Amino acid sequence: MDYKQDLITTIHDLGCNIDQLDDHLTEVSQSLPTAVLIPSLYEELQRPALTRIRDQLTHCRFVNNVVISLYAQTAEEYFQAVDFFGTLPQPTYVLWENGPRITKLLAQLQEQGLDLLQHRGKGRAVWLGLGVASLEAAAIALHDADIITYDKTYPLKLLFPLLEREFGIAFSKAYYTRLSEAPRRMHGRVTRLFVTPLITSLMEVFGYRDYLRYLNSYRYPLSGEFALTRDLALNTRIPADWGLEVGLLAEVYRNLARKRIAQVDLGIFEHKHQDMGTSSDKGLQKMCRDILKSVLRTLTETEQVAISRDHIRALGVKFRREAQNLTRQYFVDARFNGIEYDRHQEEVTLENFEKIILQAGDEYLEDATGTQIPDWTRALAVMPQLREQLRDAVVADMSDAREQNEQDRVDTTPSLTVIPQ
């Protein structure tokens, strides 16, 4: 362990036999149940990463429940998903987040003044999944559905700090090396070429604010893999835009003392790559735009920083210099380690990111309000049994799916015709 900037505990290596740790966590999880939550689009079922994730989870004895928060266009897609996850040994909830039963529940919530139907995407999927998972789990690990290098040590490492009560950890965050093998190439452009130079530039423009030091202590702030306690899950607002990961860190910053946060090394990590996008409303460009607005908003909320257009212009200038310095470092690192590196393309990418800073800054100054889903405690004040109703809806959806899947299997089973002698 070390303590980068004296803010967050960093766990580099578990320092023990994985099988022994598996046995230990399996025993602990009997009194502190765990869950793994995976937000997913139906399309991920067609890709090999989710098959690998499912197969690895079958070996996770320390995981008591699995929750899949699924976006599916049709009932047939949902039925296939239920069948796909049917091999998991753990009790599994495949939550059809845009299905008619869930939509009906959210409409009832909307009628009472809390509108979640206006939100779409990963944020709402995570919020719904946390509601179901927190009914039974004391600790919840969340990760994406597109991790190519996934193995059972991922949830094990994320959950371990939370299940050791003497640690007092309530939130653990993954960090890793984004490096592909064939070809051997650096990835993680938004972290390397946007977030890292952005935080440094913000500290130069606004000073070494505690929130910026906190963000800077994360080795991979955009990782979508983390674990949190039930209490934190129920008291955290979930960002509804593409700034979910950074926005979630802002919520953790508000809700937890730094000594209750850990980050855990997952090693070499690879998942599906996002496109840059053809405009600031698409792809990585939209992600960067939402990230910057989230950071600026939190700076104002927590540090009482008054942000002006002069600040945004200065930020753009500082960012370009910091990002160019980093591309030089990446070029040297890549050449020394035999890694492919297109320095020109990296420079083009950071130039696009620089334009995003000016645009996102102007948008923030015009409208500083964010897009966040209220925390679960707010929803339960409106509908106290909402989590149980959600779970019941999931159970009913899955029952329909299993019944239809079984009928389909019967209909496609060849019949045997006996020919009289």
Report the C-alpha gap between 257 and 6 in whole angstroms. 12
pLDDT tops 50 at residue 1: no
Contact 230, 136 (CB under 8 A): no
Residue 278: CB atoms within 10 Å: 9
- Torsions phi, psi for 182 (to 5 deg): -135, 95
Q: Residue 274 above 80 pLDDT? A: no
So what's the pLDDT on residue 15?
A: 60
Question: Is the bond leading into 183 cis (omega within 30 degrees of zero)?
Answer: yes
Q: Is the pLDDT reported for residue 3 higher than 50?
A: no
The predicted pLDDT at position 412 comes to 72
Residue 242 has pLDDT above 80, yes or no: no
Tell me, letter by letter, the H, E, C secondary structure of 291-349.
HHHHHHHHHHHHHCCCCCHHHHHHHHHHHHHHHHHHHHHHHHHHHHCCCECCHHHHHHH
CA nearest neighbour of 128 among 162, 163, 98: 98
Q: What is the pLDDT of residue 181?
A: 75
Confidence of residue 189 (pLDDT cuts 50, 70, 90): confident
Confidence of residue 292 (pLDDT cuts 50, 70, 90): very high
Asked whether the predicted pLDDT for residue 12 surpasses 90, the reply is: no
- Would you place residue 218 in the very low, low, confident or very high pLDDT band (cuts 50, 70, 90)? very high
Q: What does the pLDDT read at residue 284?
A: 85
What pLDDT was estimated at residue 177? Answer: 86
Query: What mean pLDDT is predicted for residues 118-136?
Result: 95
pLDDT at 419: 55
Q: What is the pLDDT of residue 6?
A: 47
Please state, in angstroms and rounded to a whole number, the distance separating the CA atoms of residues 143 and 150: 10
Among left, alpha and beta (phi > 0; psi -120 to 50; other), residue 5 is left
Task: Give the CA-trace dihedral at 100, 101, 102, 105, to 10 degrees.
Answer: 110
pLDDT on residue 413: 65
pLDDT of residue 418: 52
Tell me: the pLDDT tens digits for 379-392?
A: 999 999 999 999 99
Residue 272 has pLDDT above 70, yes or no: no
DSSP strand pairing (34-41 vs 65-71): parallel
Q: At what angle do helices 196-206 and 309-336 cross, to 10 degrees?
A: 140
Supply the pLDDT for residue 361.
92
C-alpha span between 240 and 126 (Å, rounded)? 10
8 Å CB contact between 309 and 362: yes
CA distances from 220 to 26, 143, 287 (A): 28, 14, 15
Which residues, in sequence order, are bridge partners of residue 67?
A: 37, 93
User: pLDDT of 66-104, one tens digit each?
Assistant: 999 999 999 999 999 999 999 999 999 999 999 999 999
Burial 42-53 (b: 16+ CB within 10 A, else e): bebbeeebbeeb
Choice among 53-57, 94-98, 317-321 with the minimum mean pLDDT: 317-321
Q: Which structure tokens are listed for 258?
A: 């730094």
Predicted confidence band of residue 420 (pLDDT cuts 50, 70, 90): low
Amino acid 4: pLDDT: 45
What whole-number percentage of the chain has pLDDT above 70? Answer: 92
What pLDDT band is residue 278 in, cutting at 50, 70 and 90? Answer: low
d(CA 243, CA 292): 8
Average pLDDT value for the chain: 90
Q: What is the pTM of this model?
A: 0.91
Residue for token digits 């989710």? 50
Average pLDDT over residues 333-337: 89
Residue 233 confidence (pLDDT) above 80: yes
Who has greater pLDDT, 239 or 278? 239
pLDDT interval class at 370 (50, 70, 90): confident
- Tell whether the model's pLDDT for residue 184 goes beyond 90: no
Find all residues with CB under 8 Å of 335, minimum gap 6, and list them: 341
Q: What pLDDT does 2 receive?
A: 39
Pairing of strands 226-229, 139-142: antiparallel
